[in-house]
């Protein structure tokens, strides 16, 4: 079936414009309008309205899906934004290559590609839960320190909670 919409030259300017707009929207939005082309002006305008609503819903769906995917790894994105600032700082001050490399290694070691506001996160937790997490995070430090080898676990916990983490 032909997709052409009849546009007699005798029609009014408004009708001709409506048909032209309809045809342009059909091609631009890559949306078909069914088996038969709309016949009257009401059909043409309702079909165009339907196309606009459909394209808008599709665009909103794609936008929401994209936002959801980006929000899944927000800490990684924060780290990348922070590191871009660091790179701009290093470029602005024309730091030597070996210094830049050490700064890069520091950030990789310090943040491991992720960025969290650990102080804020731990500050929201109950004291026992906070202590448990700090003990877990510092287990390698405690295991390698002779000072803590035979110390009372309560003393170790008290010491660890006083430390400032980097």
pLDDT in tens, 59-90: 999 999 998 888 777 778 888 888 899 999 99
**Pick the residue with more confidence: 165 or 141?**
141
pLDDT (tens digit, 9 = 90+) per residue, 20-58?
777 777 777 776 665 667 778 888 788 778 778 878 888
Closest C-alpha to 165, from 144, 145, 143, 136: 136
Cβ pair 31, 51 in contact under 8 A: yes
Domain boundaries, the chain: 13-71, 73-114, 117-166
pLDDT at 2 (0 to 100): 47
C-alpha 143/C-alpha 155 separation (Å) is: 14
Q: What is the pTM of this model?
A: 0.41
H helix runs in the chain, sequence order: 13-28, 41-71, 74-92, 97-111, 118-123, 127-137, 139-143, 146-149, 153-162
The average confidence (pLDDT) of the chain is: 81
Residue 33: what pLDDT?
62
Phi and psi at 123, nearest 5°, equal -65, -25
């Amino acid at each position: 079936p032909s997709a052409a919409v009849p546009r007699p030259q005798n029609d009014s300017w408004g009708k001709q414009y409506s048909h032209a707009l309809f045809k342009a929207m059909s091609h631009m939005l890559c949306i078909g309008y069914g088996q038969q082309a709309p016949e009257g002006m009401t059909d043409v305008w309702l079909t165009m309205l339907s196309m606009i609503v459909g394209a808008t819903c599709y665009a909103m769906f794609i936008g929401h899906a994209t936002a959801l995917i980006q929000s899944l790894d927000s800490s990684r994105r924060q780290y990348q934004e922070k590191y871009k600032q660091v790179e701009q700082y290093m470029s602005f001050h024309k730091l030597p290559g070996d210094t830049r490399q050490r700064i890069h290694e520091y950030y990789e070691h310090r943040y491991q590609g992720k960025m969290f506001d650990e102080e804020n996160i731990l500050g929201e937790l109950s004291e026992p839960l906070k202590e448990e997490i700090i003990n877990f995070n510092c287990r390698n430090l405690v295991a390698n320190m002779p000072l803590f080898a035979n110390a009372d676990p309560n003393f170790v916990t008290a010491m660890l909670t006083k430390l400032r983490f980097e």
